[in-house]
């Protein structure tokens, strides 16, 4: 009998890595099934949903040891809606497809500070509010529904909310969102909190 089966049928005592993988599978099932207000769940709908679920599963597995959760507002139509990864554009994943300004800034800053591997990126609302060609601010009820996923990922991690929506959901230190001329202030906030 393999370890995973033995753990699943025993008293629940199993190596942490098996427990984390089991929890992540449940997390991904919940996320793929989620219908959050009037948002588009790209992990559930569309031809690319299986690819995007697989990408996110691999990303979460790679970042399971990250001590920091950097959480922003919601996926953008040029970012996670296409790539499946929070604060990440398709161009950053595959070298093709659209770039996205916020994703570019976030990844550049984390790389320049040498902290990228210790940071898990996420959004308060994990599904896309808006259309295939636009974004909109998530509603209060969408935030209330979506934040449950961020709270699960926040367990045991330092949470850095980026922007007003994330700050309202998590409190703590406020870091300005990098869009609309906020790149330098975003960098300064991240540097102060992570490199202090």
User: 68 by DSSP, 3-state: which?
Assistant: strand
How do residues 71-124 score in pLDDT, each as one tens digit?
Answer: 999 999 999 999 999 999 999 999 998 899 999 999 999 999 999 999 999 999
According to the model, what pLDDT value does residue 23 have?
80
**Could you report the per-residue pLDDT of 21-56, keeping only the tens digit for each?**
568 889 999 999 999 999 999 999 999 999 999 999
What's the mean pLDDT in 3-21?
Answer: 43
124, 169 in Cβ contact below 8 A? yes
pLDDT in tens, 122-137: 999 999 999 999 999 9
Q: What percent of the chain has pLDDT over 90?
A: 84
Mean pLDDT, range 150-163, rounded to an integer: 97
Smallest CA-to-CA distance from 79 within 119, 115, 108, 52 is with 52
Burial 54-92 (b: 16+ CB within 10 A, else e): ebbbebbeebeebebbbbbbbbbbbbbbbbbbbbbbbbb
Model confidence at 11, in pLDDT bands (50, 70, 90)?
very low
* Distances from the Cα of 191 to the Cα of 65, 133, 175, angstroms: 20, 33, 10
| DSSP letter, residue 138 | P
Residues in the chain: 196
Report how far apart, in Å, the C-alpha atoms of 50 and of each of 39, 41, 42, 56, 105 are: 18, 12, 9, 10, 27
Beta bridge partners of 68: 119, 158
Strand partners, 70: 121, 160
- The pair of structure tokens assigned to 109 is 């800053």
Beta strands in 10-129 (DSSP E): 68-72, 119-123
Residues 46, 47, 50, 51, CA torsion sign: negative
| Mean of all residue pLDDT scores within the chain | 90
Tell me the domains of the chain and their CATH numbers.
14-195 (3.40.470.10)
- Answer for the pair 143, 54: CB distance below 8 angstroms, yes or no: no
If one counts every other C-beta atom within 10 angstroms of the C-beta of residue 151, the result is: 15
């Amino acid at each position: 009998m393999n370890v995973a089966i033995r753990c699943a049928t025993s008293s629940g005592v199993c190596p942490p890595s098996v427990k984390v993988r089991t929890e992540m599978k449940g997390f991904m099932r919940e996320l793929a099934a989620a219908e959050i207000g009037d948002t588009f769940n790209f992990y559930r709908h569309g031809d690319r949903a299986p690819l995007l679920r697989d990408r996110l599963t691999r990303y979460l597995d790679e970042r399971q040891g990250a001590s920091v959760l950097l959480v922003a507002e919601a996926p953008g139509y040029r970012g996670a809606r296409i790539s499946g990864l929070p604060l990440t554009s398709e161009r950053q994943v595959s070298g093709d497809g659209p770039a996205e300004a916020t994703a570019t800034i976030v990844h550049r800053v984390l790389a320049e500070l040498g902290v990228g591997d210790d940071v898990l990126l996420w959004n308060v609302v994990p599904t896309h509010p808006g259309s295939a060609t636009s974004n909109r601010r998530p509603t209060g009820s969408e935030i209330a529904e979506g934040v449950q996923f961020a709270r699960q990922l926040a367990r045991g991690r330092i949470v850095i909310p980026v922007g007003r929506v994330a700050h309202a959901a998590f409190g703590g230190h406020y870091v300005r969102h990098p869009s609309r001329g906020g790149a330098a202030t975003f960098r300064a906030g991240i540097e102060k909190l992570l490199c202090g």
